[in-house]
Amino acid sequence: MRPKRIILYIVLVVFAVFYLMPIYVLLVTGLKSFQQVSLREMWNLPKSITFQSFVRAWKGDPSRGLRGLSQNFMNSVYLVIPATLISAMLGSMNGYVLTKWKFRGANTVFAILLFGMFIPYQSILIPLVQLLQKVKLYGSILGLIFVHCVYGIPITTLIFRNYYSTIPSDIVEASKIDGANFLKIYTKIILPVSMPAFAVVMIWQFTSIWNDFLFGLIVAPNPSVQPITVALNNLAGSYFVEWNIQMAGALITALPTLLVYIFLGRFFMRGLLAGSLAGT
Amino acid sequence: MKKDRLISILFILPSIILIAIFVYFFIGWTSWVSLVNWKDIFPDFTFVGLRNYARLFQNYRFTISLKNTIVFTALFLVASITLGLLLAILLDRKVRFEGFFRTIYLFPMAVSFVVTGVVWRWILNPGPGGESVGINLLFEKIGLSFLKSGWYTDPKIGIKAVVIAAVWQMSGYVMAMYLAGIRGIPSELYEAAQLDGASTMQVYRHIVLPLLRPITLGAIIILGHISLKIFDLVFAMTGSGIGFSCDVPALFMYDTTFRGNYFSQGAAVAMILLLSVAALIVPYLIYSMRAEVRR
């Protein structure tokens, strides 16, 4: 190999080390026992491996007032599955209408929907809390599901619209002439070829809803309905919780989205690029 | 046919109504709240004009949080875009195991900001006393002691320490954008340039980089709006910090509104946040839509 190539690989490996460093810290700290955990030994491998920290982060320790993450993990599961499915469905319906049944002003409507994806949610939180309190959805998982469905509309619509505009409109026009109606074209022609877009959208929504913090913090203040990110922040924010448990908790929180990324990474990447190239 | 047209409208109508209420009506409501005198748990809708805004700019914490956002955004954009472009160019040099490296560089995007905050708070912890711990210890071991610092506990650094974690999380995203851009450049362009005797450096300077300008613009818009509204990461990693050295407007808004019950004041912060994001996003949306119509 030429020296230039060797330098190239060295640089690539150095950056890989930088990106992996926090994961290394999470893993080795989570696998250490309390006696071994200290800032001085942060970079050392564990002398003996124990899963005690993971067990305690998961189950908690009632005798010391430590809440485990297991309930919040399940809250996140109950939240993320319906919210992902519903918002994907909404996106697909919108994308279909916006590409194959364009009405006058369809592009403007799309731009108006799309803007919702960029707003700082602080600008809607006060009325959101007021409204959810009025309709008794405040402080419940159902309320959080609803919120994620609503604010997921822009991105899911964007991804489906981009995808459906690659399906030739001739196919749709021909079916119209053959007498197929709106719903039939959707269920017989559009939906059967929509799986790649559903994969991208569902992985995107799964990741962003699982990772959401702000809505969980504001809409579900009660510990028993909190999603896992909020519970992790509380766990890590209390000074009496040991670092090994915090790191184990962080790893538990990150695991579902990391697994999705590792196994379905290319769909995740497409979602990212769709989000970055809004409208182009 | 007429019936189909009606059903098609019914299909999209729920989404339009939801966005109309939950985005546009709510923004209108927040802007109204920012103009009244609501400052405890009981709503008070006495109109006070722009007084809440005027008070904000006299507020010590708010002015610091504005300065911090500017510093954070500038550093975060420059670092992420430079690093992302560098990684994309390196990975484009026909690297073996490219997929492997790409996966590693991009994985932080799949992780919650809260996890990032928790981990980096520990890594950048200078520890009690003068002893070297965490990242400082690592620097000492590899002979880079001059890089040791108090990180987020040093008020002079404050928010800049959060930039490190944010760049760690988002630079892979920029890399992915650039890589997609580079791969989209027709290879004939390279070949023609190389036939004309252009060096690799010249090809990048005169062909690749100019063609990547729209991607840079996209990256500035995307990272810029994320940066202006950054909340989770700061909340989990440092909080507002010593002397508000890590504070940002989104955090200030949360504390003011949901901890302090100064709803009108919080609404004013939210509106300023929204306007700053809109100033970035709206021209970009209009530009993108026009570009689409032209095609």
Chain A within 8 Å of B236 (Cβ-Cβ)? Answer: yes
Interchain CB distance below 8 Å, B19 and A150:
yes
User: CA-to-CA distance for B171 and B85, rounded, in angstroms?
Assistant: 9
Neighbours of A65 (CB within 10 A): 10
> Nearest Cα to A71, choosing from A261, A224, A275?
A224
User: CA-to-CA distance for A83 and A240, rounded, in angstroms?
Assistant: 35
Interchain CB distance below 8 Å, B118 and A126:
no
User: CA-to-CA distance for A6 and A17, rounded, in angstroms?
Assistant: 17
Instruction: Give me the DSSP letters along B88-142.
Output: HHHHTTT-TTHHHHHHHHHGGGGS-HHHHHHHHHHHT---SSS---HHHHHHHHT
The residue type at A7: I
> Nearest Cα to A211, choosing from B233, B223, B285?
B233
Burial A104-127, CB ≥16 within 10 A → b, else e? eeebebbbbbbbbbbbbbbbbbbb
Alpha-helical (H) ranges within A31-105 are 52-59, 70-100
Tokens representing A127?
Answer: 């009325």
Q: Quick: pLDDT tens for A232-267.
A: 999 887 766 788 889 999 999 999 999 999 998 888
Chain B within 8 Å of A104 (Cβ-Cβ)? Answer: no
Give the strand pairing for A60-61 and A66-67: antiparallel
The minimal CB distance from B115 to the residues A8, A254, A275 is found for A254
Interchain CB distance below 8 Å, B258 and A218:
yes
Q: Quick: pLDDT tens for A142-185.
A: 999 999 999 999 999 999 999 999 999 888 889 888 888 999 99
What 3-state class would DSSP assign to A5? helix
Q: Quick: pLDDT tens for A72-94.
A: 999 999 999 999 999 999 999 99
- Helix, strand, coil % in chain A, rounded to nearest 5: 75, 0, 25
Q: Up-side HSE of residue B163: CA atoms within 13 Å toward CB?
A: 21
What's the pLDDT band for B129 if we cut at 50, 70, 90? low
Chain B within 8 Å of A261 (Cβ-Cβ)? Answer: yes
Which letter does DSSP use for residue B47 in this model? B
The confidence score (pLDDT) of residue A1 equals 66
Torsion of CA A256, A258, A259, A265, to 10 degrees: 130
Tokens representing A181?
Answer: 């109606």
Ramachandran bin of B277, using left for φ above 0, alpha for ψ from -120 to 50, beta for the remaining angles: alpha
What's the pLDDT band for B145 if we cut at 50, 70, 90? confident
Interchain CB distance below 8 Å, A280 and B288:
yes
Which residues on chain A are in Cβ contact (under 8 Å) with B9? 97, 103
Assess whether pLDDT exceeds 80 at residue B131: no
Q: Quick: pLDDT tens for A51-73.
A: 888 999 999 887 777 888 999 99
The confidence score (pLDDT) of residue B1 equals 67
From B238, which residue of chain A is nearest by alpha-carbon distance?
A: A237
% of residues, chain A, pLDDT over 70: 97
Name the minimum distance, in Å, from the CA of A62 to any CA of chain B. Answer: 23
The minimal CB distance from B15 to the residues A128, A153, A217 is found for A153
Chain A within 8 Å of B133 (Cβ-Cβ)? Answer: yes
The confidence score (pLDDT) of residue A280 equals 38
**Interval B228-252 mean pLDDT:** 94
> Nearest Cα to B158, choosing from B95, B45, B30, B251?
B251
The residue type at B236: A
Burial B7-34, CB ≥16 within 10 A → b, else e? ebeebbeebeebbeebbeebbebbbebb
The confidence score (pLDDT) of residue B191 equals 81
Task: Name the average pLDDT for chain A.
Answer: 90
Chain A within 8 Å of B252 (Cβ-Cβ)? Answer: no
Neighbours of B158 (CB within 10 A): 25
Interface of A with B in 32-51 (CB under 8 A): 38-40, 42-43
> Nearest Cα to B171, choosing from B93, B123, B215, B107?
B107
Interchain CB distance below 8 Å, A15 and B180:
no
CA distances from B238 to A18, A23, B60, B153, B227 (A): 21, 19, 19, 9, 16
Task: Identify from B35, B83, B104, B114 which residue to disrupt to test chain A contact, counting A C-beta atoms within 10 A and taking the largest count.
Answer: B114
From A263, which residue of chain B is nearest by alpha-carbon distance?
A: B103
The confidence score (pLDDT) of residue A279 equals 38
User: Is there a contact between A56 and A68 (Cβ–Cβ < 8 Å)?
Assistant: yes
Interchain CB distance below 8 Å, A19 and B108:
yes
Task: Identify from B4, B10, B17, B19 which residue to disrupt to test chain A contact, counting A C-beta atoms within 10 A and taking the largest count.
Answer: B19
Q: Is B6 exposed, middle or buried (0-12, 13-18, 19+ CB in 10 A)?
A: exposed
Chain A within 8 Å of B45 (Cβ-Cβ)? Answer: no
Chain A within 8 Å of B129 (Cβ-Cβ)? Answer: no
Name the minimum distance, in Å, from the CA of B196 to any CA of chain A. Answer: 23
From B175, which residue of chain A is nearest by alpha-carbon distance?
A: A273
Which residues on chain B are in Cβ contact (under 8 Å) with A111? 285-286, 289
- Give me the phi and psi of A60, to 5 degrees please: 80, -175
Ramachandran bin of A226, using left for φ above 0, alpha for ψ from -120 to 50, beta for the remaining angles: beta
The confidence score (pLDDT) of residue A278 equals 46
CA distances from A15 to A68, A154, A262, B86 (A): 35, 34, 19, 11
Q: Quick: pLDDT tens for B47-62.
A: 999 999 999 999 999 9
Task: Identify from A122, A204, A239 which residue to disrupt to test chain B contact, counting B C-beta atoms within 10 A and taking the largest count.
Answer: A122
Least confident of A8-17, A202-211, B124-133, B235-244: B124-133
Q: Between A70-100 and A141-164, two packed helices, what is the crossing angle to 10 degrees?
A: 40
